[in-house]
Amino acid sequence: MEAQFYIAATPIGNLGDISIRTLEILKKVDYIACEDTRKTKILLDKYLINTKLIDCHKFNEKERSGKIISIIKEGKTVAFVSDAGTPLISDPGSVLIKELKKENIKITALPGACAVITFLSLISRDSEEFAFIGFIPRNKQQQFDILDKYKYTNCVFYDSPNRFMNTLQNISDLYGSNKKIAVARELTKVFEEVKEGSVEEIINYYEKNPLKGEIVAMVFAQKENQDIDEVMIIDKIKILHKENFSPKDISRIISKLYGVNKNKIYKMSLETE
Ligand code: SAM
């Protein structure tokens, strides 16, 4: 049985990154529901598709599901696309799917471009495991909490270029400046760029080079056996105490030397005399 509703992935930059099946279905369905009709039209015009459009974005998704359900009940078919990439991946679509499932509507997905998967296919990792957290929160404490939650897993996130330098600084404060990270900008586009290195190297790089466009990044997993050796750290703290370094300086120095969390060392140095 053919689907009544299609979730269709669209390109994340290069308009060539769309499957033949997706193009055929976008041509064949009665309606395409999309986040922004102007953006979707650019893609459709390129492939000479003139299917009727319905706008469906995060602010009207619930109300639009009602309209889409009645269209489908009249025997018509609908495809849903977001502005770019795979719907429901940091994009609308969840509400729609939930409502359509209640009505037993046959749904299928047309796979294709997705920034997180494109990125992961470019980064060599020691383990398959990764956690994708969508857009990283803006708030420093919330960033600490979520990164800490996934510290033993490669942690992938989306971020905006305006906030990314702040995020990098927060990662450095949390894990130390040696923490390994990977960053990709403008995947599949003319200025595609992929960088891997310590958070300090990446900060230095973006202090000298423009940080524009769309960004996906990953904090590499901390190996469990590389947990800090607390006895050794306490020893170092004691030595620095004797030399009259302040807890603030001690945490900065040890965090730099061993790539460990500055706040944790700060607390330890207050407790160590
Ligand atoms: N649904 C999309 C997907 O499948 O990747 C993601 C949509 S989300 C609203 C947009 C964010 O995805 C951007 O802010 C950026 O973080 C990331 N992104 C999208 N396209 C990208 C690209 N070409 N290169 C790097 N990151 C990209």
Alpha helix stretches (DSSP H) within 105-185 = 115-120, 140-149, 161-175
Between 27-36, 86-95, 220-229, the lowest mean confidence (pLDDT) is in: 220-229
Identify any residues that bridge with 185 across adjacent strands, giving them in sequence order.
193, 215
Which numeric CATH code is attached to 116-219? 3.30.950.10
Residues 200-229 have pLDDT tens digits of 999 999 999 989 999 999 999 987 655 567
Task: Compute the distance from residue 272 Cα to the ligand 1 centre, in Å.
Answer: 45
Between 238 and 40, name the one with better pLDDT.
40
Pair of tokens at residue 113: 């471009």
Yes or no: say if 7 and 95 are a contact pair by the CB < 8 Å rule: no
The pTM for the full model equals 0.85
Which residue stretches of 10-139 are H helix?
20-28, 37-46, 61-73, 94-102, 115-120
**Count of alpha carbons within 13 Å of 30, Cβ hemisphere only?**
13
Nearest CA-CA partner of 252 in 171, 172, 181? 172
Tell me how far the alpha carbon of residue 11 lies from the centroid of ligand 1, in angstroms: 10
Tell me if 118 CB under 6 Å of ligand 1: no
215 pocket-lining for ligand 1 (C-beta < 6 Å): yes
CATH topology of domain 5-113: Cobalt-precorrin-4 Transmethylase; domain 1 (3.40.1010)
Q: Is the pLDDT of residue 151 over 60?
A: yes
Which residue has the least CA distance to atom 16 on ligand 1? 158
In whole angstroms, what is the distance from residue 126 CA to residue 32 CA? 41
Q: Say yes or no: CB of residue 86 within 6 Å of ligand 1.
A: yes
Instruction: List the chain domain ranges.
Output: 5-113, 116-219, 230-271
State pLDDT tens for residues 179-188.
999 999 999 9
Q: Residue 155 pLDDT more than 70?
A: yes
Determine what percent of the chain is predicted with pLDDT higher than 70.
97
Cα angle 143-120-125, degrees, rounded to a multiple of 5: 90
Ligand 1 atom closest to Cα of residue 115: 5
Pocket of ligand 1 contains residue 237 by CB under 6 Å? no
